[in-house]
């Protein structure tokens, strides 16, 4: 595109890279036009697999989450009692972690990448499992992936192959509109014009003359940015394609960070709708508990911020409040399972076809420990094994679970990050 007439950077000088990419839908991972082709649709399964990965970056109280015994007949812990109705639908893991992923709170950005030493000044992230999936099957849906968050700033679980963070969307209402609200013809054309402008901005940035230091920094991003640019033109076709129609109303976004649980509930329902309408097959959700103040919970009194409570120092007053918060997380997870099981798809439930990964980068938030991570996997066509207990002193590599998830999604990959194989003890069903 010619830049001599008008430099888009001059006309939008205040626009940041983050704002620009969010405006172009990158927070939702731009849709790919190839998915509209008959050949691509023919390759898609009538009942596809899906993955929803959730990270609560303050974790769960270990003694309340992990069962004391192992195997299919394990005795449920206090937290798992909340999920008792669905115990045949999930496996809980203990004694697992990401090798060499340390640093306490910063480890949340490695939850789905397993990239080592995230607190290091020289750290550069790697591809997250959701984006690995999106690169391979994203062409089959309107949105190759959804990157979502609650109460976070720029922190994200989703990272490209070049180690670039995908900004998360936090408004359930906004994502709902993008998925289901069809714009007027005028609005559609305005969106297409916006996409064209986005391409112009990228052109202008790449053609600018900059110094060696700036060029080195820009080069770290340009491969990913150009990949996104290549999707801008393709996304025009989706703008003119009718969106799915759902009966549920647009959710109302809570205004306060303290309404954390209401935000989580909105997102869970949104993901069910996204899977039910096959709008995407790969979703991540960062629950940024670290950035959450006092949490509002119906019928309970929480007197301190979530982060402060996690540093309980064995104070029974703080532990009691954490148990309430953690139990509510389990209740909402149970509601998510119920919603997914309530949708039939080709003789199975949506939970049967969808893997729900729930866990944390911290095994013990009080000690900032990244070993013995709490992890649970539900649904997805596995023969669930109850409680798979590994060595809590010499942890089993969690990336092995990611390999199993990728294979269940249809990928033939044998390795992801620091994996050594598939997850021992977790078998797939035949279908």
The reply to whether 136 and 285 lie within a common domain is yes
Rounded to whole angstroms, the Cα distance separating 132 from 116 reads 18
Q: What is the pLDDT of residue 340?
A: 98
Overall average pLDDT of the 161-171 stretch: 95
The reply to whether 297 and 382 lie within a common domain is yes
The reply to whether 330 and 416 lie within a common domain is yes
In a domain, 112, yes or no: yes
In a domain, 104, yes or no: yes
The reply to whether 356 and 268 lie within a common domain is yes
The reply to whether 211 and 313 lie within a common domain is no
Handedness of CA 289, 291, 296, 301 (dihedral sign): positive
Overall average pLDDT of the 388-409 stretch: 98
Residues in a beta bridge with 192: none
The domain of 131 spans 31-181+258-428
In a domain, 247, yes or no: no
In a domain, 379, yes or no: yes
In a domain, 301, yes or no: yes
The reply to whether 36 and 159 lie within a common domain is yes
Rounded to whole angstroms, the Cα distance separating 422 from 56 reads 24
% residues pLDDT > 70 (the chain): 76
CATH number at residue 345: 3.40.720
Rounded to whole angstroms, the Cα distance separating 166 from 148 reads 10
- Our count of domains for the chain comes to 2
Task: Report pLDDT digits (tens) over 328-359.
Answer: 999 999 999 999 999 999 899 999 999 999 99
Q: Which of 16-25, 104-113, 353-362, 364-373 has the lowest mean pLDDT?
A: 16-25
């Amino acid at each position: 595109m010619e830049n001599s007439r008008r430099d888009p950077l001059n006309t939008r000088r205040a626009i940041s890279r983050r704002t620009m990419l969010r405006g172009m839908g990158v927070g939702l991972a731009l849709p790919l036009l190839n998915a509209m082709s008959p050949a691509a649709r023919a390759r898609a399964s009538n009942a596809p697999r899906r993955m929803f990965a959730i990270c609560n970056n303050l974790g769960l109280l270990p003694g309340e989450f992990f069962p004391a015994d192992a195997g299919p007949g394990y005795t449920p812990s206090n937290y798992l009692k909340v999920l008792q109705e669905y115990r045949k639908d999930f496996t809980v893991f203990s004694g697992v972690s990401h090798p060499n992923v340390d640093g306490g709170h910063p480890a949340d950005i490695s939850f789905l990448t397993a990239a080592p030493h995230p607190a290091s000044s020289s750290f550069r992230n790697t591809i997250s499992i959701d984006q690995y999936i999106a690169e391979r099957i994203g062409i089959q849906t309107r949105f190759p992936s959804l990157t979502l968050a609650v109460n976070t700033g720029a922190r994200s679980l989703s990272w490209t192959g070049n180690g670039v963070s995908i900004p998360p969307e936090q408004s359930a209402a906004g994502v709902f509109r993008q998925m289901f609200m069809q714009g007027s013809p005028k609005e559609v054309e305005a969106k297409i014009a916006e996409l064209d402008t986005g391409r112009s901005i990228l052109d202008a940035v790449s053609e600018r003359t900059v110094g060696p230091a700036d060029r080195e920094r820009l080069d770290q991003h340009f491969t990913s940015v150009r990949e996104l640019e290549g999707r801008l033109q393709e996304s025009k076709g989706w703008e003119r394609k009718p969106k799915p129609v759902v009966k549920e109303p647009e959710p109302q976004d809570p205004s306060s960070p303290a309404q954390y649980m209401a935000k989580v509930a909105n997102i869970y329902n949104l993901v069910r709708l996204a899977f039910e309408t096959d709008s995407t097959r790969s979703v991540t959700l960062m629950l940024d508990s670290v950035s959450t103040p006092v949490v509002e919970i119906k019928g309970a009194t929480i007197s301190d911020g979530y982060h402060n409570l996690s540093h309980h120092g064995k104070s029974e007053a703080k532990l009691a409040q954490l148990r309430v918060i953690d139990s509510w997380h389990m209740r909402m997870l149970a509601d998510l399972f119920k919603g997914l099981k309530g949708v039939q798809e080709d003789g199975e439930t949506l939970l049967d076809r969808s893997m729900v990964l729930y866990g944390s980068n911290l095994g013990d938030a009080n000690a900032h420990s990244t070993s013995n991570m709490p992890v649970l996997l539900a649904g997805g066509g596995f023969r669930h094994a109850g409680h798979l207990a590994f060595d809590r002193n010499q942890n089993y590599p969690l990336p092995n679970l990611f390999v199993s998830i990728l294979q269940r999604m249809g990928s033939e990959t044998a390795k992801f990050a620091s994996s050594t194989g598939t997850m021992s003890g977790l078998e797939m069903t035949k279908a």
